Structure 1
Amino acid sequence: MDDTTPLASLSLTHVHYDPTDPISYLCAWLALVPQGLCVVYATLIWSTREVEIALMFAGQLACEALNFALKRLIKEERPRRMNGKGYGMPSSHSQFVAYFAVSLALFLIFRHQPVYQGRRRNHTPMTMAERAFWSVVGVCMAGAVAWSRIYLNYHTEKQVVVGCAAGTVSAIAWFILTAAVRQSGWLAWAIDHPIARFFRVRDLVVEEDLCQAGWEKWDDKMVALKARGKKD
């Protein structure tokens, strides 16, 4: 007997685009940026145990919850030539990438304070120019993703602008909140908790770059091996 049960579509990565248009094809890939960033979040949290990254991801989830609520409160439909599901105001993609880009810029420019004095042989911190450059790259990436939602006809211009505004406001508010938590001493207390120590949670990325983790030990080891080889 044939199974006549209707099947549903998991549209998490289901993107409609014009196969005859190269720009539309590129926009379809840009639509996957939020999913890719979630993978980046999870990978960095697990591999570095940095509390700053975990806090940023927590804010990202709160931003998504806000978008979920706003869509069901405003209840504005998507453009007519659109096969997607759900409401369109504000654009969740635009809000997601705007939060990420603004949070990254706020961290790199204001919170990231690399130690320059007493610089070690194998540690060269990022300069302000480099941090500003990566901040601009993040904002440009967010702008490309937001624009792609209009090009693919998933959202109107107004829905994208409101999404970017909501993501920006969320990032600034979360940055201020986490700054208050840091200054109050609650974050230091939480990191020193036995559970946090068991999971090796740390807060070093505010002073050193992520690529620095373990690099000094590795570089010292290689220098020692080369010195030993010269003696032999």
Structure 2
Amino acid sequence: MADPTPLASLSLTHVHYDPNDPISYLCAWLALVPQGLCVVYATLIWSTREIEILLMFAGQLACEALNFALKRILKEERPRQMHGKGYGMPSSHAQFVAFFSVSLALFLLFRHVPKSPAPSHTPLSMGARLGLSGLALVGAGLVAWSRVYLSYHTPKQVLVGCLAGVITAVAWFLATTAARQVGLVRWALDLCIVRLFRMRDLVVEEDLCQAGWEKWEVKRTASANTKKR
């Protein structure tokens, strides 16, 4: 019999690590964070229809396109002990998580200004938002560090990736802020195709879980009053 057709490996989640090293195993899971965040983006965009999340995802894709271009311009090889393919400068993982964490921090600290609509539920305090921002930045740092630990990148490649992600996040935040100020976001939300998908812009002023909570409280109170009667 003739040999069967050789099979290829889908490298999207193909991560090399040392099975005898628990830290290496943890780093292998950290390597999947960007893929997980893409799932989170898609889920939140579909479930909330918030234009702010869509804008952030658009910036994330632009950051990835920049990384693709930079790698092919700089053409710096990965470390010699690296088993994968492609150029290493800058680290796409580091750039991805740096953009995400900085964008999230900028949103929570400067753009998200929720009002306190009810005494029964108060929005996230500035301290809580600082804590969430700090956790996002620490998580991004762990993902970036894991790329060096697994020998997928040199420290310089990771640092440049982080720098590119931070610069892109700040630039995108300023660009979307300007778009809001001149009315481009409001104009886009009035387009027929955008209205067809029921896109909205509430998360900037609304608490992250308040809208559904208010509806539930009204329903719960009405139900309780009905039972009393």
TM-score with structure 1 setting the length: 0.95
The farther-off stretch of 127-136 and 193-202 is: 193-202
Matched, 1:77 2:77: yes
Instruction: Please say if residues 123 and 216 of structure 1, whose CA atoms lie closer than 8 Å, have aligned partners that are also in contact.
Output: no
Tell me which amino acid in the other structure corresponds to 2:15: V
Query: Which structure 2 residues correspond to residues 59-138 of structure 1 after superposition, within 5 A?
Result: 59-116=59-116, 119-138=117-136
Structure 1 residue 125 displacement after superposition: 1.0
Structure 1 residue 122 displacement after superposition: 4.4
Match of 1:46 in 2: 46
Question: Partners in 1 of 2:203 and 2:140 — Cα distance?
Answer: 23
Structure 1 residue 38 displacement after superposition: 0.1
Tell me which amino acid in the other structure corresponds to 1:13: T
Q: Which runs of 5+ in 2 are unaligned?
A: none
Give the share of equivalent positions with the same residue, in percent: 71
Instruction: Please say if residues 67 and 92 of structure 2, whose CA atoms lie closer than 8 Å, have aligned partners that are also in contact.
Output: yes
**3-state SS in 1 of match to 2:18:** coil
**3-state SS in 1 of match to 2:171:** helix
Match of 2:36 in 1: 36
Encode CA deviations 1:63-105: one digit per residue, 9 max, x unaligned: 0000000001100010111101100000000000000000000
Encode CA deviations 1:23-73: one digit per residue, 9 max, x unaligned: 111110000000000000000000000000000000000000000000011
Structure 1 residue 219 displacement after superposition: 1.8
Tell me which amino acid in the other structure corresponds to 2:122: T
Match of 1:205 in 2: 203
**3-state SS in 2 of match to 1:213:** helix
Q: Flag as ranges the 4+ runs of structure 1 deviating above 6 A.
A: none
Question: Partners in 2 of 1:98 and 1:153 — Cα distance?
Answer: 19
Query: Which structure 2 residues correspond to residues 160-175 of structure 1 after superposition, within 5 A?
Result: 160-175=158-173
The farther-off stretch of 45-54 and 190-199 is: 190-199
Matched, 1:187 2:185: yes
Question: Partners in 2 of 1:123 and 1:200 — Cα distance?
Answer: 26
Question: Partners in 2 of 1:121 and 1:222 — Cα distance?
Answer: 16
The farther-off stretch of 147-156 and 119-128 is: 119-128
The farther-off stretch of 186-195 and 39-48 is: 186-195
Query: Over aligned residues, Cα RMSD in angstroms?
Result: 1.2
Structure 1 residue 212 displacement after superposition: 2.3
Q: Which runs of 5+ in 1 are unaligned?
A: none
Structure 1 residue 3 displacement after superposition: 4.4
Structure 1 residue 135 displacement after superposition: 0.3
**3-state SS in 1 of match to 2:114:** coil
Encode CA deviations 1:145-203: one digit per residue, 9 max, x unaligned: 00000111110000000000000000000000000100011110110222211211000
Question: Partners in 1 of 2:189 and 2:121 — Cα distance?
Answer: 25
Match of 2:2 in 1: 2
Structure 1 residue 209 displacement after superposition: 2.7
Instruction: Please say if residues 115 and 207 of structure 2, whose CA atoms lie closer than 8 Å, have aligned partners that are also in contact.
Output: no
TM-score with structure 2 setting the length: 0.96
**3-state SS in 2 of match to 1:12:** helix
Encode CA deviations 1:96-120: one digit per residue, 9 max, x unaligned: 000000000000000001113xx32
Question: Partners in 1 of 2:169 and 2:26 — Cα distance?
Answer: 27
